[in-house]
Amino acid sequence: MTGDAAEIALFTAATATAATLLMLVPGVALAWLLARRRFPGKAVVETLVSLPLVVPPVATGLLLLWVFGRRGPIGRLLDGIGVEVVFTWRAVVMAMAVMGLPLLVRTARAGFEQVTRRYEQIAETLGAGPWRIFRTVTLPLASRNILAGALLGFSRALGEFGATIVVAGSIPGRTRTLAVGIYSYTETGQDRQAAVLLVVSLALAFTAVLVSNRLAGES
Amino acid sequence: MAAFELDFVLRQGAFVVEIAERLDARALALFGPSGSGKTTVVEAIAGLRTAQRGTIAIAGRTLYSQQRNVNVSTRERRVGYVPQDVLLFPHLDVRSNITYGERPGHASFDAVVTLLDLAGLLQRRPASLSGGERQRVALARALMSNPDVLLLDEPMAAVDLPRRRRILDALLRIRDDLRVPLVYVAHSPEEVRRIADWVLVIESGRVTARGAPGPLLPVAQAAAE
C-alpha cells in the first residue's frame, strides 16, 4: 500500500469511528423516543430522521453546507468561537454521521420495540426508577440491535461520498476519504491509486459486514 | 393476619372487573377459570393497571383511592410480584436477578437463598434453568425487595409435582415465618387448600363466592364442572 493510501484509509476509519460515536447518543435517544413515546410531531421527526436515506446525498451535503457554512445559522455561531466546519475533517464527520444516523435509529428502534414492556414493569415493582430501568433492563436487552445499528451506520459512513464531497471537498491530507479519493483519482486518470483505494475499501467493507453478520448470528 | 380492602371497578375494553371485598387473611387465594379476571385483580394491586374507581388497601396501607385521590406508583407500592410468565431478566445471572430490587428488610440474601434452595444456581443464566428453578428465583427476587405483600400469579404452572411440594413448603414459611401476606392466583384446589385461609371465587370479573377453603372449594369446583 502506498503511503498515500494508508493515510486515506486511516483517515476514513478514524472519521467513520468519530461519526459513529457522534451519532450514538442522539441516535439511541431518538430510537427510544420513537419506539416508546407518543408526542406531538412524532410523524415529522420520524420522517426527518429517515430523509437522508431517500434524499440524494449530494442534496444533503448542500443542506449541510448552508447550515454549517460561515454564514449559515450554525456555522456562524461556530465561527464566532473559532471552530471551522466546512471543508475540514469536521465536515467529513458531520456528513458521515447524518448519513449513517437513519440506519442506526431504525435498527435500534426495532430493538427497543422488541423489549417486552413486562420486564420494565417487573423492574418497577422492584422499586427501580425510570433511569435505572432504562440503564439496567431496556438498554441491555436492546444492546444487540444498537450494536448492529451502530455497525451499519459505521459501514455507511465508510462509503459516504455524495454529502462529503459537497461539504468537505476532496483535499488531500485534510478531507480526502476512500470514496472521495477513488473518485478524485479516477477523475485525474490516476487509475493505479484508485485501484489501491478500491481494494482497501473492499477489505474494510468486508470486515464490517462479516462482524455485523457474526453479531446477528449470535442473537 | 393482614387486612385486605379490594373494592374497585376496572374496565379493560368490554371486560369489567368489579369487586367489593374487605377481609383479613394471611394468604388470600383468587380461584376461578382462566380469563375470569384474576390476573387483572393482581395487576390492579401492583399498580400495573389503574382502577376507574374504588379503593385498594393492604395491611393498613392505601395503595389506591379514587375518592382520596391516592394512586401510589408501582415503584412505591412494595409489592413482590411473581407473574405467570415469571420474567426473570434474561441478561442477568440468578444472583443479579435476586438482588435487583434488594431493599433492607426482614429476609437476608443468605436466608432467601437457603429457603428456596438456590445456592447452586447463583451463577446461572435464566435461559439454562428449568421451570421450577425459574419460579423459585422469581420468588427470591420478589422477597428480596422486602415486600408488604407477595402477589403470586399461578406460581406452579410450570413446576413438576415434587417441586410443587417444595415450593409450597417455602411459601408456607414465607407466610408464617417471614409473615409476608400472600395473594395467590390458582387453578388447583389442592394448592389453594394448603396455602390459603380465604378464597375468592372469581368468574367473569365478579366474585361469585367467598369463604375459607375447606367449605368453599368443593362447592366452587362442583360449580365449575
Q: What is the 3-state secondary structure (H, E, C) of chain B?
A: CEEEEEEEEEEECCEEEEEEEEEEECEEEEECCCCCCHHHHHHHHHCCCCCCEEEEEECCEEEEECCCCEECCHHHCCEEEECCCCCCCCCCCHHHHHHCCCCCCCCCHHHHHHHCCCHHHCCCCHHHCCHHHHHHHHHHHHHHCCCCEEEEECCCCCCCHHHHHHHHHHHHHHHHCCCCCEEEEECCHHHHHHHCCEEEEEECCEEEEEECHHHHHHHHHHHHC
A114 in B contact zone (CB under 8 Å)? no
Residue A210: its pLDDT value, please? 84
Binary contact (A125, B141; C-beta < 8 A):
no
Closest-approach residue (CA) in chain A for B147 = A126
Q: Which of residues 122-141 of A touch B (CB under 8 A)?
A: 122-129, 136-137, 140-141
Q: What is the pLDDT of residues B10-67, one digit of tens each?
A: 998 889 999 999 999 999 999 988 889 999 999 999 999 999 999 999 999 999 999 9
B85 in A contact zone (CB under 8 Å)? yes
Given a cut of 80, is residue A61 above it in pLDDT? yes
| Residue B165 in grid coordinates | 411440594
Cα-Cα-Cα-Cα dihedral sign, residues B76, B81, B87, B88: positive
B80 in A contact zone (CB under 8 Å)? yes
Say what the pTM is. Answer: 0.86
Q: What is the pLDDT of residues A64-119, one digit of tens each?
A: 999 999 899 999 999 999 999 999 999 999 999 999 999 999 999 999 999 999 99
pLDDT, average across residues A146-174 = 93
A121 in B contact zone (CB under 8 Å)? yes
CB count in 10 Å sphere of residue A152: 21
Given a cut of 70, is residue A43 above it in pLDDT? yes
Q: What is the pLDDT of residues B144-172, one digit of tens each?
A: 999 999 999 998 877 788 878 888 888 99
A119, A121, A129 ranked by CB distance to B89: nearest: A119
Within 8 A of A129 by CB-CB distance, chain B residues are 75
B104 in A contact zone (CB under 8 Å)? no
Local confidence band at A25 (pLDDT 50, 70, 90 cut-offs): very high
Q: What is the pLDDT of residues A124-133, one digit of tens each?
A: 999 999 999 9
CB count in 10 Å sphere of residue A172: 11
What's the CATH superfamily of B2-224?
Answer: P-loop containing nucleotide triphosphate hydrolases (3.40.50.300)
B79 in A contact zone (CB under 8 Å)? yes
Within 8 A of A140 by CB-CB distance, chain B residues are 91
Binary contact (A121, B48; C-beta < 8 A):
yes
Domain range summary for chain B, segments of one domain joined by +: 2-224
What CA–CA distance (Å, rounded) separates A174 from A168? 9
All structural domains of chain A: 3-218 (1.10.3720.10)
Q: How far is A154 from chain B (nearest CA, A)?
A: 26
A219 in B contact zone (CB under 8 Å)? no
Name the average pLDDT for chain B.
91
Binary contact (B48, A123; C-beta < 8 A):
no
Q: How far is B205 from chain A (nearest CA, A)?
A: 22
Q: Which of residues 42-71 of B touch A (CB under 8 A)?
A: 46, 48
A118, A126, A140 ranked by CB distance to B83: nearest: A118
Name the average pLDDT for chain A.
92
